[in-house]
Structure 1
C-alpha cells in the first residue's frame, strides 16, 4: 500500500517544481515508509511513497515500461497480476519485475483506457504516456483506495492520495464548499465526489480521468468504467446459493492472502470478520494472526464472540481494551482525514489498526458485507415502511400519513407516520442522516443557509437511488449505500486509520466478481423476513458458532453521550462558544451553546450533533487560509 502525488501542466514548456513535488510526496510518508521516488519531465511530475508488500526488493516506483515512454505511480493491490503477466507476455510484452505494478503499464500499452476493466483488486494510480502525451488517472470499482484532484489556474492539474498533499500546492484554493458542509452535517462525512474544498474533487469509485496535452482546456469529465447491477438472475434456492457463496468467498479470501510480509485479520466478533477468518484458517498452513478491540463498557464489547471464533480456529489472537476515556485522538483524527469526518468508530478502528501493526503489515477485514447482503437493520425498517406505504396510493400518502403524524401524541408513532408520508428516497435520507433537517437549519447561520443556494443533502442519496440499476426498493437502497456510505465513510475510515500506521487492509467481501454475484441474488435471499444477510449467515453455519451468526448487531459503538456529560463536557463547551466556530461565520452560536447545555443537563441527547461540531472545529483549527465566501459548487456530470 502506498501514497501517490502528481503535477501536470497543459504545455511541455513549463518545468515541474521538483521541490514542490517532493514536499507533496512527503506529506504522505506515513502511507509508504519503506521508500519514496519522484519522476519529473517538462510539464509532468509523479511522486510515490512505498509500503512494500509484493516484490519487496524490486517493485520501486515510479515504474516504467521497456522503453521508458510510460510511467506509473500506484497505490493498491492487483490480485490477478500473475494471470495478466502470462497474457501480456504471450502478446510480446517484456517484464523486469515480479510486482503487480508492472502489469499496469503493459496493460495500458495493450488496452489503453480499458485496461482498468482487466484489473481485479483495489487501486488508485496515475500514468503518464509520453508518446500519447496523455495523463490517465484511475480509481478502483468500489473506492477502496482514494484519489483527489484539483484543476489549477491555467489548466494544470494536481492530484494525490490524500487531501493534505494537494494543499501543499500554493495554487490550490482553500475556499470551503458550503454544499460539502451541508452534506457533512447530514451524513457525518463528505460524500464523493465533493471534498470540503470547492476546488478539489475525489475521483469517484469506478471512474477514470484522461487528460491529453494539446486538446485545449475544457471541463474535466471523469468517465465511469464500471457499475454494479442488481439483476436477480442468480441462484434462487437458499441452499444452492449458500453453497456457491462459500466457494466464492473462499476464493476471494485466498487471492488476498498473497504477501511477502506478515499477514493477519481483524476479528470483531461479528458475522463478516468471523467468516473471513474462518476462510483464512481453512486455507492457511499456519495459525492466523487475529486481533480485536474491547470496550470498558460491556454494552459495547464484542470480544467474547471474537474469542470464541479465535478459539475454534486456533488463531494467534490478541485483544486490546479501549476505556471510556479514550478520546485523546480527536485532533489526531482531524489530521488523518484532512476534512471533517464524524464517524466516531474511527477511534476504535485506529486502535485496532495500531494493534494489528504490532505483528503484521497486511490485515484482512470484513467490510462490505452489510452493503452486499442487506445486513443493516435500516433495510428491514425500510421494507416494513414500503409495505405500509403500499396501502395507500402515492397521492394520498402525504396528506393522510402527514396529518395523522401531526396529530399523534406518541413520539415513536409520530415519527413512523411522518416517515410513511415521505417517498422512499426522502424517508431513507431521514433514516441515515446524522442531523435531521430541522436541526441542521437551526445549526447554520443565515449567511450559511444563503450560500447553499437551494442545495439539500438529500440530493446526494436521491441522485443514486434514481439512477440505481435495480427493480426492487432494497436493491436501490443497497446501490445508494455502495455509492455513498461505503465509499465515503466505511472505506475512507479504514484507509486513513490503517495508512496512518502503515498497515495495508484488504477487503475480500468487496472483491468485485463476488459482489456482482451477491447483487445477482433475489432480495428475499438477503433480507428474509426479519433476518438480514440471510444467505450469508446460512453459508457460514458450518463454519461459525450459531450465536455469533444470529445475535444482535452491535458494531464499533462509542459512548459519546456519556463523554459529553462527563470528561468532554468542558471541551465541548469551549468549542461551541470559542472563537474558531464563531469566526468562521457558518453557525448560529446561540443555538450551538443551547445544544451543549441541554445535553450536559440530560434533558436531551445531542451526542451526534455535538460530535459532528467538535470534529468540524478540530478541522478548522488545523486548517490555514480557509475562505468561506463562495456559494455551493455545482457537480460536473461524469461522462
Structure 2
C-alpha cells in the first residue's frame, strides 16, 4: 500500500522540476513511510511513497522494465500476481523481483491496456511507455484506491493519490465548484468524478485514462458489474458456494510479509471475515475494535463475543466526545469536505490496529453488495406503489401531499409520511436520492444563499445518481439501488473514509467482500435471495448460521456511528455553534446567515434534530479554515 504522484507534459518534453515533484510526494508521506523514490526525465516526473507489504527488499518504485522504457508507480495490492507471473514467464518474460508491481509492467507489454482486466485486487496505477510516449492511469473496479488528476492550461497532466498532492503543484487553480458544494451538503461527500475544485477530477472506478503526447486525454471504462439475475439454486446450495467463495477471497488477502489482522465491529460483515480468517489460519487472528461510551451506539460486546468464539487476540480501544480534537485531523486527511462522522471512530480503530499490525481485513462492501441496508426494502416497497398508479395521477397527487404534509421528525414513525409522499411523486432515481440525502431539497433551499443558488444554474445533486439508475433501468428496484450505491455511496464515501483513515496511520486495509469475482457471482443471484421477508443479506446470514450466533446475524443493523445529536447539545455544544456561525461561514457566500443561526438554535433547544446537517456544516467550516491557512 503506497501513494503516487506524477507530472506529464502532454505537448512536448519540457523539463520537470524535481523539487515540485518531491514536494508533491512528501505531502503523502503517511501513505508510505518505508521509502520513497522519484524519476525525472524531460516531459515526465513520477514519484512514489512506499508502505512495504510484499517483497520488502525488491519492490522499490518507480519500477522499470529491463530496457528502462516502461516506468510505473503503483498503489495497491494484486492478489493473483503469482498466477499472472507464471503466465507471463510462460510467454517469455523474465522477472527480477518477487513483487506484484513487476507483474503489471510485463502485463502491459504483453496485453497493453487490457492488462488491468486480469488484475484481481485494488489499485491505482500510473505507467509511462516511452516507446509510444503514452501515459496510462488506471483505477480498480470498485474505486478502493484513489487517483486525482488535473489538466493544466499549459499542457501538463498532474496526478496523485490524494488531493493534497495536486495542491502542492504551484499555480494550480483552486476555485471551488458550486456543484460539488451542492453535492456535499446533499450527500455528505463529493461524488466521483468531481472534486471540491473545478480544475481537479477523480478518475472514476473501473476506468483507464490514456494520453499520448501530442494528443488529448481519453477515458475508457474497462469493467461493469452485471447485476442481471442468472444463477439459481437452493438457499442451502447457494449458501455453501457463497462461503467457499468468501473463504477463497479471504485467503488470497491474507498473503503478507508483515503482521496482519482484522477490524471486528460486531456486525455481520466484519464478523464473517474474522470467522473465515480463523478457519484459514494456524495462528490466532489479531482483531481490533473501538467502544463508544454511549451504550446505545456501542457494539463492542458483540465484537467480544465473536473474538471469544474464535479465540482471537482481541484489543478494544475507546472513543468518546473528547474526539473533537480529531476534527482538524479529519479535515487534513480528506482535503475536501467529508461529512461522514464515523470517520472519527474509523480513524481511531485504524490507529489502534496499526499499533499491532500493518495490514487489516475489513467487512466493507457487504451492505451494498448483498443488500444489507434497510433502505433497499423501503425503496422496493415504494417502487411497487409507484408501478400501481399511473404517473399522470401519481405525480400531481403525491407531489401535492408531499408539499402540504408537515415534517414531523419528533412524531412516531407511522405519522412521518411526508418523505414517503414526496418519493411516491417522483421517479425511482429521485425517490432514492430523497431517501438517502443528508439534507433534503427543501432544507438546502433554505440553507443556501440567493447568490449561491444562482451560481448553481439549476444543478441538483440528484444528477449524481441518475446515470447509475439509467444504466440499470431494466432491473428491479433493489438492484437499481444497489448499483447506484456501488457507483456513488460506496466509492465516494465508504471507501474514501477507510482509505484516508487507514493511510493516515500507514495501515493497509483489504476488503474480501469486494473481491470482484465474488461480487460478480453475488450480483448474478436473484434479488429475492439477498433481501427476503424484510431480512437484508438473507442468503449471507443463512450461510453464516454455523459460524455466528443469532444475535450477531439477526439483531437490527446498528452501523458504525456516534451520538451526534446528543453531543451537539452537550459535550460539543459550544464548538459546533462557534463553527457553524463563524465569520468565515457567514461571509462565505454559500449560506444564509439567518438559517445557520436557526439550525443551531433549533437543534440545541431540542425543537428539531439537525445533527446530520450541522455535522456537514461543521466539517465545511473546517475545510474553509484549512483553505484560509493554505492561502496565507
Q: TM-score range by the shorter chain?
A: over 0.9
Quick check: 2:12–2:214 contact (8 Å CA) kept in 1?
no
Quick check: 1:577–1:589 contact (8 Å CA) kept in 2?
yes
From 421, 425, 439, the equivalent of 2:443 is: 439
Give the 3 Å change call, closer, same or farther, for CA 601–164 of structure 1 in structure 2.
Answer: same
Corresponding residue for 2:237?
240
**Structure 1 residue 586: Cα displacement:** 1.1
**Structure 1 residue 418: Cα displacement:** 2.6
Report the Cα distance in structure 2 between the residues aligned to 1:424 and 1:469, rounded to whole angstroms.
9
Report the Cα distance in structure 2 between the residues aligned to 1:171 and 1:139, rounded to whole angstroms.
26
TM-score by length of 2: 0.97
Report the Cα distance in structure 2 between the residues aligned to 1:456 and 1:177, rounded to whole angstroms.
13
5 Å-filtered alignment, 1:481-496, equals: 481-496=485-500
1:422 partnered with 2:426: yes
Render the CA deviation track for 1:400-454: whole Å, top value 9, x for unaligned.
3334455656751333223222221111101100000111111111111111111
**Structure 1 residue 214: Cα displacement:** 2.8
SS in 2 for 1:603: coil
Report the Cα distance in structure 2 between the residues aligned to 1:624 and 1:552, rounded to whole angstroms.
43
5 Å-filtered alignment, 1:250-289, equals: 250-289=247-286
1:314 partnered with 2:318: no
Corresponding residue for 2:411?
none
Quick check: 2:289–2:316 contact (8 Å CA) kept in 1?
yes
Render the CA deviation track for 1:262-301: whole Å, top value 9, x for unaligned.
0000000000001100000000000000011111111001
Corresponding residue for 2:76?
76
TM-score by length of 1: 0.96
**Structure 1 residue 526: Cα displacement:** 0.3
Corresponding residue for 1:600?
604
Report the Cα distance in structure 2 between the residues aligned to 1:534 and 1:78, rounded to whole angstroms.
30
5 Å-filtered alignment, 1:506-521, equals: 506-521=510-525
Return 229-238 or 414-423, whichever deviates more: 414-423
Quick check: 2:419–2:434 contact (8 Å CA) kept in 1?
no
**Structure 1 residue 241: Cα displacement:** 1.0
**Structure 1 residue 395: Cα displacement:** 1.9
Corresponding residue for 1:40?
40
Quick check: 1:324–1:559 contact (8 Å CA) kept in 2?
no
Corresponding residue for 2:545?
541
Point out where structure 1 has 5 or more consecutive residues left out of the alignment.
628-639
Report the Cα distance in structure 2 between the residues aligned to 1:9 and 1:94, rounded to whole angstroms.
31
Report the Cα distance in structure 2 between the residues aligned to 1:75 and 1:380, rounded to whole angstroms.
37
5 Å-filtered alignment, 1:289-438, equals: 289-405=286-402, 411-438=415-442
Which consecutive segments of 4 or more residues in structure 1 shift more than 3 A? 402-411, 624-627
Report the Cα distance in structure 2 between the residues aligned to 1:38 and 1:405, rounded to whole angstroms.
58
Render the CA deviation track for 1:249-274: whole Å, top value 9, x for unaligned.
00000000000000000000000001
Quick check: 1:236–1:525 contact (8 Å CA) kept in 2?
no
Report the Cα distance in structure 2 between the residues aligned to 1:232 and 1:11, rounded to whole angstroms.
47
Corresponding residue for 1:108?
108
SS in 1 for 2:38: strand
**Structure 1 residue 511: Cα displacement:** 0.3
**Structure 1 residue 390: Cα displacement:** 2.9
Give the 3 Å change call, closer, same or farther, for CA 50–408 of structure 1 in structure 2.
Answer: closer
Return 491-500 or 229-238, whichever deviates more: 229-238
Quick check: 2:207–2:220 contact (8 Å CA) kept in 1?
yes
**How many residues matched?**
624
Return 359-368 or 550-559, whichever deviates more: 550-559
Report the Cα distance in structure 1 between the residues aligned to 2:233 and 2:444, rounded to whole angstroms.
44
Corresponding residue for 2:412?
none
Report the Cα distance in structure 2 between the residues aligned to 1:163 and 1:408, rounded to whole angstroms.
43
**Structure 1 residue 355: Cα displacement:** 0.7
Quick check: 2:290–2:300 contact (8 Å CA) kept in 1?
yes
Corresponding residue for 2:90?
90
**Structure 1 residue 584: Cα displacement:** 2.0
Report the Cα distance in structure 2 between the residues aligned to 1:41 and 1:624, rounded to whole angstroms.
35
**Structure 1 residue 538: Cα displacement:** 0.9
